[in-house]
Amino acid sequence: MNSFVKKIVSVLAVATCSTFASVDAEMEGMEVVSRDDGTFLIGSPTFYFDRALGAGGIHSESELWTPRKLRYRLLFNRMSVLPSWDPIETPSMWMKTGNELGDLIYQDFITDKDDRPVNRTPILELGVRTPLFHGFWGTFRLFQDDHYTFRSAYTYRNNWVDDKFAFFGENLPMFSSAYGGFGFTNDFINASVLAGMEYIWIFTESSRWFPVRYKPRIETRAEVGNFSATLVYENAEYQNKRKKESGERLEVNGSIVYDCCKNHEQNIMQLSTGLMFRVVDDEGDVYTGLKSNRVVWPFLEMHSRPMNRLKFDVTFGINNRDWLVQDSVEYGIPIFNKMNITLGAKNIAGTRLNPIADTYEYFDGDTISLTAKGHMNLLQGFVRIDDTLSNFLGFGIRGSFWAEQGAETFETKEFVKDGIYTLRHGNVARINSWIKGVTGEFRLNLWYKELLKFTALAGFERIDGDEKRFEVNPSEFFVAFNADWLIKKSFRISHSLRYRSDAEWNLRSVDPLVVKGDWYWDATFEQRFPKYGISLAGTIIQALGKEVVETPNGEYSRVRFFCTAKKAF
Amino acid sequence: MKKLISILTFGLISFLHAEDPLQFRNDSLAVKNDISFSHLSVFLEGGEIYPMGDLMDAVESSLYGGIGVRYTYWENVDGIVMFQYTYIKPKTDIYYDGVYQFMGRVGADWKWPLIHPVVLGAGFTCSWTRADAEQFYYEKRGGTLTDNETEFGWYARISLPVFKYKKFSAGFHVLWEQLWTLPKRSNMLYAGITLERSLW
């Protein structure tokens, strides 16, 4: 290994330690709940604001389309991992169940009715993935998350639907999903067909939650050679029992990608090109709309490393309505034996952060435009220092400056009350003045063999701009202490203690909603049985912190505990 | 150093590519050192449950019984899984006679080498409850239990398996349990006897 590669690998090593502790997520896609290295505000499993400190700009990550998210779910105008239709790859069976803490049990005998805490709600997941049989495999998964459901909004949502709107229980969970199917995998082909049914509550720009039942949803995937393709058919049913409305959307969407240099990571240049599309046919009362009922989004992705120390990444997409370019450049400068300095710059520019999303929302006779004239431009420059001080200690520093013009926001024309909710009329708009930010992050890593990986993180960010027009004023600083213990290769304790400062929602209510800063503690305890491929784990999430509503019209983020059992075949 | 770098680099790659959560089964050293289930025994146990704190005003003491499995986890540590049942009678004026309660526990027992045969254990517990009622009056006190209610918690336990005869052992145990209920946490103390038979 030459010295420069050594340094790069050392940096990777430090970066590995810097990732958050491996506290289990309650559902695939809910990892954001255990993050506070920025602003992560959860309103439900199907809606959250997720912005890492130092990411630049004022948007959240899930608002931005990237080729990495081709198989994410599009929930209104956000790209979401959850509810994930990525088949679990390990041949195994698994079960997960848990509950928000705070049911009464025998406290009910000594508690007045008026003093009863609000009902606490569970999660459930069951699944299986068979071993290969001549290349064929089957899978089934049922999962729903009833957390974030039981404020008085339950009554409100109950007025929308005419049944329990879930596979299990009567909590009206924010999503309930089940699918099954089969696939074929060998050295040349990886293909699958999954079919299922799903209940999802979608959150929109008007701040409404509305229910969508996918009946059925069918997803096919294929990876053959350098091609990767996805084709999805959805029959989405809409309803509003209170207003006696019903509608239906038939949608076909998918993507195809050609990767010219797959499995050739040493190439100076890697190029891939692809196309994503959606075609919809709406009938009756459907609460969102897509211009021309279709969108086709061709894109190009390029990774280039002309020199060992220099790296370029470019993604570019364009169609008849929008264009979006995301690029970055990094240059590594070796300083001392184990220290590396990286200088970099990043740019995001485009007419829309998510060009494949719907273009209209229909709300009480009003049409909310989800697109804005003009374009946004985000520029960021950063410097990163990584140093592996010894074989058990390392640190990293990252500082950045960013500036954004034309940031997407919402121009509120009017607020209206609907039950406990505040809703808004208006249109997506832009902040055409410059917003500037400066960030600093510090990381300290400590590790000892496999036994311990410890990380301390701290960060601050100062933003100047037309802050009253930001959807969210991000948190200004955070600290986090994370540790993964692995004892005798068979018992894991992962835990994370964090603080983040206040964040503020400006545009979804008459008075801003301030989400107070707080400390949080999450932990996973896992018994492993390597010989038998069994894992038994218990996880506690959101302990310590005060239980609060983190998004407008969202639900309480409560302390919860869940246990998971997995067995590999 | 190379090994460390490899491990850490692998860790990063795993992080970026959604690590297989059961990857540890492919670690040959971990598999070789895994002595889990090398001994396994089943046990019956029974005793009395005493409410603590606020619960002393809410419910009466009650009898409980259950079964369990104990298996080798590490050399001096056993894994333990228990299922128990009790019928809890209210102390206050509740419109039904009692509540069926099933408990499931998963934890570990440590055989204290200094003071034989003291075994110290701890773990997580889950209680499932349902009122012994035919009428559903949610508004009344105790009404929430007419629907199924479940709550998690943790426990600590001390066991004294003082009698041993061939594959059998018997002894006493005391267990403290806290359920994470609201408006206050619920504490109970269990005391009883255990009869255990080793299967292998």
pLDDT tens figures, A246-263: 999 999 999 999 998 765
> Which ipTM was obtained for this model?
0.88
* Any B CB within 8 A of A456 CB: no
CB contact under 8 A, A12 and B12: yes
How far off is chain A from B165, nearest CA to CA, in Å?
30
Q: Is the same domain home to B14 and B46?
A: no
CB contact under 8 A, A563 and B124: yes
The domain tally of chain A equals 1
Q: Is the same domain home to B15 and B43?
A: no
* Cβ atoms of residues B55 and B188 within 8 Å: yes
For an interface test with A, the pick among B8, B31, B33 (most A C-beta atoms closer than 10 Å) comes out as B8
Tell me the chain B residues in contact with residue A6 when contact means C-beta distances shorter than 8 Å: 5
Percent of chain B with pLDDT over 70: 91
Question: Two tokens at A324?
Answer: 């979006």
CB contact under 8 A, A538 and B124: yes
Tell me the sheet residues that pair with A562. A98, A539
The CA distance from A447 to A485, in Å, is 10
Helix (H, G, I), strand (E, B) or coil at B109: strand
Q: Is the same domain home to B62 and B2?
A: no
pTM (predicted TM-score): 0.90
Look at residue B121 and tell me whether its pLDDT is greater than 60: yes
Mean pLDDT of B114-129: 93
How far off is chain A from B178, nearest CA to CA, in Å?
12
pLDDT for position B107: 95
Look at residue B4 and tell me whether its pLDDT is greater than 60: no
Window A:87-126, CB contacts with B under 8 Å: 89-90, 92, 98-99, 101-111, 113, 115-117, 119-120, 122
CB contact under 8 A, B144 and A12: no
**Residue B116 burial (CB count, 10 A):** 10
CATH number, domain of A264, equals 2.40.170.20
Residue B7: pLDDT band (50, 70, 90) is very low
CB contact under 8 A, A107 and B186: yes
Alpha carbon distances (Å) from A316 to A84, A272, A377: 26, 11, 14
Look at residue B125 and tell me whether its pLDDT is greater than 60: yes
Domain limits for position A272? 3-568
pLDDT for position A263: 57
Look at residue B15 and tell me whether its pLDDT is greater than 80: no
pLDDT for position A244: 94
Q: Is the same domain home to B11 and B110?
A: no
Q: Which helix (H) or strand (E) holds A565?
A: strand A560-568
Tell me the chain B residues in contact with residue A527 when contact means C-beta distances shorter than 8 Å: 73, 79, 106, 108
Tell me the chain A residues in contact with residue B24 when contact means C-beta distances shorter than 8 Å: 489-490, 528, 530, 535
pLDDT tens figures, B33-47: 999 999 999 999 999
Residue of A nearest to B37 (CA): A529
The CA distance from A153 to A379, in Å, is 40
Q: Is the same domain home to B74 and B18?
A: no
Domain limits for position B133? 36-198
Q: Is the same domain home to B75 and B124?
A: yes
Residue B148: pLDDT band (50, 70, 90) is confident
pLDDT for position A267: 67
Residue stretches of chain A with pLDDT short of 70: 1-21, 151-152, 262-267
pLDDT tens figures, A307-357: 888 999 999 999 999 999 999 999 998 887 778 999 999 999 999 999 999
pLDDT for position A43: 94
Question: Two tokens at A332?
Answer: 């590594």
Q: Which of B79, B126, B144 sits opposite A104 (nearest CB)?
A: B144
pLDDT for position B92: 87
pLDDT for position A113: 86
The domain tally of chain B equals 2
* Cβ atoms of residues A482 and A398 within 8 Å: no
Tell me the chain B residues in contact with residue A119 when contact means C-beta distances shorter than 8 Å: 144
CATH number, domain of B120, equals 2.40.160.20
Question: Two tokens at B24?
Answer: 């540890």
CB contact under 8 A, B152 and A92: no
Q: Which of B22, B33, B182 sits opposite A92 (nearest CB)?
A: B22
Q: Is the same domain home to B9 and B100?
A: no
CA-CA-CA-CA torsion sign (A157, A160, A164, A168)? negative
